[in-house]
Structure 1
């Protein structure tokens, strides 16, 4: 998307990021229509967060990468890839599915020496190690939007994921992640310490205690 245009809209209870792969099971007729039209036109559609009866105004366009399975009753399993962010200007209800007059969200160019880059990578590796994973530092290299990659596995709430999507540049998103993980990692460490104590013999008396 390079200018304001009309795009199909798929409100969901999730946040999609650029370059993220997302499997979807399509069962409602209106969204079967949406997928059919996008496949025919080889076009993208927009995914926006919908929760508690409210739809966010900033979303991410998605392009269908693969139709994994078509069911006899018309349902489909597909995989989409996030592309670029957009802002909803107006809603159009002329088709079975929603459409939006939307414009691209312009990304501010980050500085070459991005502040916080190494720190956020170190924090993320530590967080994943606490979860029993051993990521290689090489997976963080040559990523134009490192923040979105890290945010996929950073323990963010749905609201925090949407805040990330709406931030205007990479520097702001990395600062947001650093602050989040500075608070989140100690809580994970505390929970892990408690888990180990509970699972170890002799650290706690029998529970419940004898009457």
Structure 2
């Protein structure tokens, strides 16, 4: 078996792989929300309640991707939800790429300024890189278009604005507490880059389908 088979359409669309990814992402999503429990509680107690929606960034991105897998697992049963499918898939791609890269960047940026890397950090690095990679791989199987990609990007930019306007951004390593302005600029730029990455992946998928 050639290594390229592991990212081929037949392999990615096979039901065992889809179910495996669904279970892994579902468990990761649940773990992610548990990881945010202290910040969620703190936000609920100290901020207007509407802001709590913008707190758990990575697990919400993982939730979008998990829901996207349901449309691949049950295409006939969920075929009537075309608009919802496109919206969720667009959000899955933009947010998974953005927060996957963001989390890894923050972990290593904190370590570069003297923070200690523990085993949980390496677990988070692996899981968040997987978020970004799987989202881009599955673009070829998704059905969202450029319009939904722009909507997803707009929502993510709104999330960034709320995060740094009201200080509900994900808690940073202590070594980065003095670098919030730089982190904010990086975050906004990464959202734009994630939209671009999603668009390029979408364009590549359409080109490959046309050539096929």
Normalised by the length of structure 2, the TM-score is: 0.22
Q: Which of these two proteins has the greater Rg computed from alpha carbons? A: 1
- Structure number with higher strand proportion: 1
